[in-house]
A and B are shown apart, each in its own frame.
Chain A
């Protein structure tokens, strides 16, 4: 008998037992349920695309919605639309979350006798609405957001029919002062288009043109176009260098409140050089000397003169009127001064275009809301209908909660908010992806919005509810017949509804019209902003990139997109200059008590040098009250609703006297250390590159003098890009290993990222999240450094003497040709494929995390928990079926959107050809408004990536490590003096 030792015996027994167990296992039985009647346009497994409109902000970008099996899974810009031009911003990419929001209202609610909101039926809700409308006929007010389509007219018609023409169109960002200034100067209370793409000099007076101001996507596209190839110099004027300012070449930070003097000094100098006829104004400008402005603003005379000279010399200068964060008690005057600067420099008609205006004339503003609050208190209004507005949150100074208390309030919100929680009747609207609608964001640019999913909750379109109510009241004949959709179709009949629906709308921008300076211009009031309150710090509340005015704060995905400046997530933070922090004796994470005339907040401190020392900056949009009636899981909702603090509560409701706009920059505050300290959810611990050369820059002169194709040009501009020992480590080439390369004759995928175009806007981050089923993990796990984003925006601050330069570098898997992660994987879950991809096979991964530890770029993400189990009905519907949902214990990372590569190859194989250049577009590249990301095939010498890889600006991050990355970066270009060109 042959010997079998103990080890062999155990092996054999184990094998047999394992085999027997396998034989006994059965796959769980799955059902496969076909359609009853398959809709003609739906084929399981094949996506359908619909044109629609984004309704996340008044910019109203045109969309293409990708749907699979009748549910939208991804949105991108509509290339035919002159606003989005095929691109979207960070909020637009996340806009599907509003539809797949687990804590949406499930159906109508009414106020019960015990004071709680309780579910009711639509029949009951509608009968209450009709009864109350009849009871308060003539005393009904409608408070809504900006509507520029059919719904707008419908509401007006209904109010007229019941004799209650009380309509307030309220947006927290309403550009009242700019409209008022244009009325004074040019006799037209409109907001013109600012054509960035035509400018060769852009000067922003605190306008956050990339975050929320007017039409961020269109403006960012224009900015990138103006700047491409080193053109267009840009200057930011304002007390805090936010996202919009960060990419601009020069930062002038006047003492808060003295911006007017700077604007007037510039105006005077430019008017002198350009011999502009300012009429009676010229006399008033005589006293505005540059020296006086320099003294008041704290900006050296020569820098003001230099800027004035730049404006005067520019062919097409563009000055951007103040955004919300610089809207003070003098907002109209400051807007007028900036518009006069545009006039004097010849920008009006060139880069500032009247005619195809932003459709904002009918928008009310803070003064109308104040008026409404007064009418509610005096009982002049007996019934309030609220749709698309949240005044309780956005205007705490007006005391809306208390003013609404004795008024019967109906809310049409699709999800609960502060105002809805106080309503007496809630008749939830569909979300934009479930409903019909239309918009005209720019004069002549009309967009249609169509449903792409059947309503997920028991909601009804507000247009239909109003029509039904009108018919029940017997005033239906003065309103359109049929449903709300019929009303839209009728309104679009003249331009061909069906064709417009297929295209996404009708895009005929109104013709440009010329304006002349009116006599009224002479009376413009030029004062410095008044700052009131005790304390020595100026409060700067700034609009949020991710949350807008707070309307997107309920979305965990957007909460987890890092603030573009602080790189913090999930909260509100008080930003201080290092000098101020030292004076207050606080450092990063210390909790500060901030007291203004209007209120008090406790906020942790972030210290960074891109705010002025006398400023304390707080992001708007956070601090929503936990209001979620009828929601199934309170703990989960707590996560989503009690985040940060509402910065609006620190504003006392002071206004710009001329336009009635809320003065955001009006409060002085006191800040004291509380002694508490928080562990902060920070995603980037340092803004110093520490000589590693991650985000590199070159100068204009170097760009002009470079010979193309020189991969190994030394660092330009005398900048230390790599560690001193790096030179000795360089290989001969950074190209792929020829042996690897030979195996696939057709493709070697690569990406080129132009850092000169990248502005750090985060749109790629949410696009990637939506495309690749990346989970949001919450504040606590981010604190532990477990964030899941496949692409991140690294922000670095460089110092040139007193001047500061901010650089952004998108960081994602570099798909290294010689990847450190690959040899350490014990199970071949990550390897290099023949087409140059660093492949990650999630189902093969056993979770050793060796690869992440060995990655030089920190781009590998580990699933510490089964994050898919965090999903609540109906959030799972937004998952992209083309991408595997990763489970607990596996590694994941950027795949270069391999599902899109695969789809393009499928198409090419069937058509018997190779994949064409530009056919594969990863989600990040597709949405980037700056078009900073290019993807393609390096095997094709004619492809855009091949050409760009040969550019003199090309470099590879950590080239000295010889990782041979497939991602090539192009150095950003320092223009003008900052770049020492």
Chain B
């Protein structure tokens, strides 16, 4: 065989291997987290808090609870007292089972304990991510967090947009390549020291 023939062969085999892996990953992910099935997406939290109810049905602004998303480095999880601000009166919601969940909240608050939420959107410690810079630049919460307002349980939505900059492979969310895609597309900083110091 002429040597020229070997190059596409290697590329095809490599691509197939990658595609296969990606399919396996995708299949695994879709098996665990069915986007249409709220019961299955996202890990179980200490309290079954539904963003769909609070953000969509009740129309509470993101910033009402995540108060410093446009001011500080962290968006911050609201203090338990913020939940209690409404829920000292609202002891039962419209959804089935909501009373038990709200009772859990009261239990935490009365015990003087905070709620050990599981962190879904987690960045490594060597990344200095600043929420307020992104909200100031007009980046929607959903760009990174997915359609949280429609989720009953929050989960890390994979980015399925195929971009030329990531060789048409689905980017893993919150990984550097995924951040860089957006930074490059929007002309934001491409300097390592913007986030790593």
Q: Check B114–A842 contact: CB distance below 8 A.
A: no
Closest beta carbon of chain A to B82's beta carbon, Å: 8
A909 touches B194 (CB 8 A): no
A2 and B6 contact, Cβ closer than 8 Å, known pairs A19-B18, A38-B79, A902-B194: yes
A29 in contact with B136 given A2-B1, A19-B21 (CB within 8 Å): no
* Nearest neighbor of B18 in chain A, beta-carbon distance: A19
Task: Provide the bound-state CA to CA distance between A909 and B134, in Å.
Answer: 11
Number of chain A residues whose Cβ lies closer than 8 Å to a Cβ of chain B: 47
Are A841 and B193 within 8 A (Cβ)? yes
Q: With both chains docked as a complex, state the minimum distance between the C-beta of B138 and any C-beta of chain A, in angstroms.
A: 12
Known contacts A15-B18, A45-B74: A33-B116 contact under CB 8 Å: yes
Q: Is the CB of A44 within 8 A of B10?
A: no
**Is B167 engaged at the interface, CB distance under 8 Å to the other chain?**
no
Q: Do A46 and B71 contact each other (CB < 8 Å), given the known contacts A32-B118, A895-B197, A898-B193?
A: yes
Instruction: Identify which of A2, A4, A883, A910 gathers the most chain B CB atoms within 10 Å of its CB.
Output: A2
Contact of B72 among A44, A883, A899, A902 (CB under 8 A): A44
Chain B residue contacts of A157, Cβ below 8 A: none
Known contacts being A2-B9, A8-B10, A16-B20, is A30 close to B192, with CB within 8 Å?
no
A12–B17 touching, CB < 8 Å: yes
Establish whether residues A884 and B133, one from each chain, have CB atoms under 8 Å apart when the complex forms.
no
Residue B14, interface by CB 8 Å: yes
Knowing A12-B13, A34-B80, A831-B192 touch, does A884 contact B21 (C-beta < 8 A)? no
Q: With a CB–CB cut-off of 8 A, which chain A residues contact B1?
A: 2-3
From B72, B119, B124, B133, A45 is in contact (CB under 8 Å) with B72
Would you call A515 an interface residue if the criterion is a C-beta within 8 Å of the partner chain's C-beta atoms? no
The answer to whether B68 and A46 have CB atoms under 8 Å apart is yes
Report Cα–Cα, A837/B115, bound state, in Å.
42
- If A19-B18, A27-B122 touch, whether A902 touches B128 (CB-CB below 8 Å) is yes
Q: Of A16, A37, A44, A842, which contacts B74 at CB under 8 A?
A: A44
Complex CA gap A895/B113 in Å reads 40
- Pick the residue among A44, A842, A885 that contacts B196 (CB under 8 A): A842
Q: Does B132 contact A (CB under 8 A)?
A: yes
Does B165 have its Cβ within 8 Å of any Cβ on chain A? no
Cα A19 to Cα B20 with chains together (Å): 10
* Complex alpha-carbon distance, A46 and B70, angstroms: 12
5 residue pairs of the A-B complex, CB under 8 angstroms, read A16-B21, A23-B25, A38-B81, A45-B73, A831-B192
Partner of B119, one of A19, A32, A46, A837: A32
**Chain B residues with Cβ under 8 A from A508's Cβ?**
none
How many Å from the CB of B54 to the closest CB on chain A? 15
Q: Within A66-94, which residues are at the interface with B (CB < 8 Å)?
A: none
Q: Is the CB of A34 within 8 A of B78?
A: yes
Taking CB atoms, residues of chain B closer than 8 Å to A841 are 192-193, 196
Assess the A882–B128 pair: CB atoms within 8 A: yes
Tell me the count of chain B residues lying within 8 A, CB to CB, of chain A.
Answer: 51
Chain A's nearest CB lies how many Å from the CB of B33? 13
B132–A906 contact, CB under 8 A? yes
Asked if A833 is an interface residue, CB under 8 A from chain B, the answer is yes
> Contacting B80 at CB < 8 Å: which of A3, A35, A835?
A35
CA distance A32 to B1 in the complex (A): 59
Q: How far is the CA of A37 from the CA of B77 in the complex (A)?
A: 12
Smallest distance from the beta carbon of B128 to chain A beta carbons, Å?
A: 7
CA gap between A12 and B82 in the complex, in Å: 53
A909 CA to B130 CA, complexed, in Å: 13
Query: Measured between alpha carbons, how far is A884 from B5 in the docked complex, in Å?
Result: 48
* Partner among A12, A20, A837 whose Cβ is within 8 Å of the Cβ of B193: A837
With the chains together, A758 CA to B81 CA distance in Å? 52
Taking the complex as formed, is A127 at the interface, i.e. its CB lies under 8 A from any CB of chain B?
no
Bound CA span A20–B13, Å:
16
- Residues from chain A with a CB closer than 8 A to the CB of B117 are 31-34
Indicate if the CB atoms of B17 and A15 lie closer than 8 Å.
Answer: yes
7 tightest Cβ-Cβ pairs between the two chains A and B: A45-B73, A38-B79, A19-B21, A45-B74, A35-B79, A843-B126, A2-B9
Residues of the B chain whose Cβ atoms lie less than 8 Å from the Cβ of A834: 191
Known: A2-B1, A38-B79, A902-B194. 20 other contacts (CB 8 A): A3-B9, A4-B9, A8-B13, A12-B17, A16-B20, A30-B119, A31-B116, A32-B119, A33-B114, A34-B77, A35-B114, A36-B79, A37-B80, A833-B191, A833-B193, A839-B197, A841-B193, A884-B128, A906-B133, A909-B136
Per the bound structure, the CA–CA distance linking A679 and B133 in Å amounts to 52
- Is A844 positioned at the interface, with any CB of B under 8 Å from its CB? yes
Q: In the bound complex, how far is the Cα of B10 from the Cα of A45, in angstroms?
A: 49
Interface flag for B37 (CB, 8 Å): no
A374 to B13, CA, bound (A): 92
| Chain A 894-929 interface mask (CB, 8 Å, partner B; 1/0) | 010011001000100110000000000000000000
Q: Which of A12, A29, A45, A898 contacts B197 (CB 8 A)?
A: A898
Does residue B164 face the partner (Cβ distance < 8 Å to A)? no
Chain B CB within 8 A of A43 CB: yes
Determine whether the beta carbon of A43 is less than 8 Å from that of B116. no
Take A20-B24, A34-B115 as given contacts and tell me if A2 and B5 are in contact as well, using a CB distance cutoff of 8 Å: yes
Does B13 contact A899, Cβ atoms closer than 8 Å? no
**Who on chain A is nearest to B130 by CB?**
A906
Give Cα distance in the complex from A948 to B132, angstroms.
35
**Cβ-defined contact, A909 with B21, below 8 A:** no
B88 to chain A, nearest CB (A): 13
A843 near B119 with CB under 8 A, answer no
Among residues of A, the one whose C-beta sits closest to the C-beta of B24 is A23
Q: Are B72 and A46 in contact (CB under 8 A)?
A: yes
A269 vs chain B, min Cβ distance (A): 59
Complex CA gap A3/B115 in Å reads 59
- The smallest beta-carbon distance between B49 and chain A, in angstroms, is 12
* CB-defined contacts of A32 to chain B, threshold 8 Å: 77, 117-119
Q: Output the nearest chain B residue to A910 by Cβ-Cβ distance.
A: B136
